[in-house]
Structures are given as structure tokens and as C-alpha cells.
Structure 1
Amino acid sequence: MLAVFADTHGTDEPRLAGRTADALTSADQVLHAGDFTTRAVYEAFERRANQLAAVHGNSDTTAVQKQLPAVRTIEWNDWRVLLVHGHEHTPTSLPLLARERDADLVVIGHTHRPAIERLGDLPVLNPGSHADPRAGPPTHAEVHPANGAIRLELRERDGTVIDRVRVAGK
């Protein structure tokens, strides 16, 4: 399973609880779409995750921005996942970047609002924010393999699924 986070906006610790905390420690890999804010929060994620792939966001300190790229592509279960914060991308530029990176799925943050959307044929996952939500509950996302496809889930802190979408394999 991939556990997906964004927009933590912490100063000293990642402010995790419930299913959200469990997802971080039990996932095969953790993705974070930026805005840890401080290096201490980034390092707390890094210590707890089995494997962490992250990008910086617009609210990250200079130290975090120097440590993390703005764009990252990872391989997971035969899927190429493009990871960006999202503040520098539009609904036009994001699919172009995904095509350039040969991505099958895009993970973004920035809005603090959980969403599973499509830009044309491109699935886009925004996990919302587990620590600083806007217009809704604290959320994270989980991505599960599903017989050649993937299942994208948006979950509240207590584990309640608020949206679930199956994305067919390539």
C-alpha cells in the first residue's frame, strides 16, 4: 500500500493520529506532496515511514526546499507516479508534465482539499491535509493494488472512507 499525505504545515511534529498514523508506519511506501513546513516535520515522517518519497511545497522552509525536489517520479507496482505540490501547475500544464514523465497517476497537494479527479485520461489524487484541512475533515489517501489496477481511497483520521475509485491498469 502507498500512504499519501500533503500539507502537514507543522513546526515540531507531524500531528498524526488514528488510521492516519497507522497508514504512515504500515505502508510499503509513503508519498508526501509537500508543505511539511520545517525540517523537523520532514525528519519525523522520514523516521516513521518504511520508505518516503517527497517533494517540497510553497510553504516549506529554505532548508526543506534545498533538500527536496519540486517534482519527483516514482515507480510502484508497475505504475509511474508523478508527485508535485501543485502550486506551480494548472489543469493544462499538469497533464503535459505527466506525459513528459510517462506518469500513470499524479499526486498533488496545495489545496488542502481531498479529491480524486481526472484530467482527461489522467487520474489525479489529492490527499487533502491530515493536520490542516480546509472545508472538511482531516484526511490522507491510500493506494492499494487491485488485480492489475489500483484502488484510490480518501480516508478520514478514524479510517472512514470518504471516496474510493478503481483505476484500470495501463
Structure 2
Amino acid sequence: MSGPEPALEVERHVTLPAEVADMIAIFSDTHSSHGHALEAEALAAAREADVVIHAGDFTSVAALEAFQAECDLLYAVHGNADSVAVRDRLPATRVVEAGGVRFAVTHRSDSGETGLALFGRSHDADVVVFGHSHRPTVIDAADCLLLNPGSHAQPRGNRPGFAVLEETETGLEGEIRDPDGTLVESISVSTA
């Protein structure tokens, strides 16, 4: 791959111009010692997305850098299984405003759904992106949507997953998919 290096943003709060985020791909829990472990539709989504959000647990710098090489813009946090070198590069939490939606990103909450919803409210988020359980999950928490894309590479007894959201006139529409593209669950985030 030639050309400039893809950007890995380390700022904790990023607001992107609306025209930048027509497609957002969301991943978590790569758990790789050597690469991004992306394949099929998951790899295509990472390459085609205007913005990629990752909720942590790359595990290694090699996995983080391989992921970064596939994305135009990668906004990530570190997880509990990430090496010290990955933790040094990534924050534990961050806020990304993209596609007219405010995402609060963390790897996990020790207080479960309630803690995640409180985290979202404290950041005035429309969507809380989280990982850790490796279970694709969409929960309407009244004030915000809780979204775990699952793990595309290490599902640990769950269905493998990643999420893709596309901008519409009223917000974002999308779905959690298996890496082969099979629909797991639909997602709708209204900004109206």
C-alpha cells in the first residue's frame, strides 16, 4: 500500500465534518498477536468506511497497526487485554461525533448496562460503543443506544460480528453482520 499513512487519532474528543462520515464501521475484540484478523465483508467494511471505531482489545501493536493500515480514519480505545504498548497509544475512553451522531466509546463497564448508560449520559452520547463480552448486542437504554459489535475474530461461543452504519436524512441506519455479511441485527439511530 502506498501513499500517506492512515490517521490514528489519539484525541479523546473528535468532531468530524458531516460529509466525512457517510459510512461508519464498528469493531471490537480483535485479540490478535499478529494482524487485524479481518476477512470477507468485515475487511471490505474496514476498507470502505469513512470512519472506523474500535472498542478495544487489539491485544498487540501488530494488530493495531494492521487494522490502522486498512482504515482511512481509525478511532479506537484500549481494552483490558491490550498490551502496555497499545495502552500507551490509545485512551481508555473517547467521544467521536460522526454522521450527526455522538458516540461515546469504551471497552467495558464494570456496572453492566446501567454503567454503560450512565457513561453515555455523562458524555451526552446518542450511542455507547463497547466491547469485552464478544457478544453482538444492541440495547435501547432510553437516552442512548448501547452497541457492542461483537468480535469479528474471537467470538468465544457467540456469533462473530461487526457493525456498519450509514447516514440517512434522519440519522444512521445499519446492522450488525457476521464477517461473511449475514445479518445479525438491525440498528437505527435517529437524530431527528
Scaled to the shorter chain, the TM-score interval is: over 0.9
Of 123, 139, 144 in structure 2, the residue corresponding to residue 122 of structure 1 is 144
Deviates more, 1:129-138 or 1:34-43: 129-138
Note the C-alpha offset of 1:146.
2.1
In 1, Cα distance between equivalents of 2:174 and 2:154: 21
Aligned residue type for 2:122? E
Residue 165 of structure 1: CA displacement? 2.5
Residues 100/136 of structure 1: CA separation in 2 closer, same or farther (3 Å cut): closer
- 1:142 corresponds to which residue? 164
Q: What's the CA shift for 1:87?
A: 4.2
For each residue in 1:50-73, what CA deviation from the matched residue of structure 2 results, as whole angstroms up to 9, or x when unmatched? Answer: 100000000000111111000000
Pair 1:36-2:58 in alignment: yes
Distance 2:55 2:94 in 1: 10
- Counterpart residue identity of residue 41, structure 1: A
- Counterpart residue identity of residue 191, structure 2: G
Tell me how far apart the structure 2 counterparts of residues 29 and 19 of structure 1 sit (CA, whole Å): 16
Which residue matches 2:73?
A: 51
Q: Residue 155 of structure 2 is aligned with which of 128, 133, 137? A: 133
CA contact (8 A) 1:57 1:87 kept: no
Alignment counterpart, residue 8 of structure 1, candidates 30, 40, 60? 30
Structure 2: how far apart are the matches of 1:24 and 1:80? 20
Structure 2 counterpart of 1:78: 100
For residues 100 and 40 of structure 2, the distance between their equivalents in structure 1, rounded to whole angstroms, comes to 30
- Is the partner of 1:15 in helix, strand or coil? coil
Separation in 2 of the partners of 1:41 and 1:132? 13
Alpha-carbon separation, structure 1, partners of 2:155 and 2:104: 23
Write the letter of the residue equivalent to 1:34.
Answer: G
Over the matched positions of the two proteins, sequence identity in percent amounts to 41
Q: Distance in 2 between matches of 1:157 and 1:90?
A: 26
SS of 1:9's partner is coil
Cα separation, partners in 2 of 1:55 and 1:163, compared to 1, 3 Å: same
| TM-score normalised by length of structure 2 | 0.84
Aligned equivalents of 2:174, 2:132: Cα separation in 1? 19
TM-score (norm 1): 0.94
2:120 maps to what in 1? 98
Gaps of 5+ in 2: 1-22
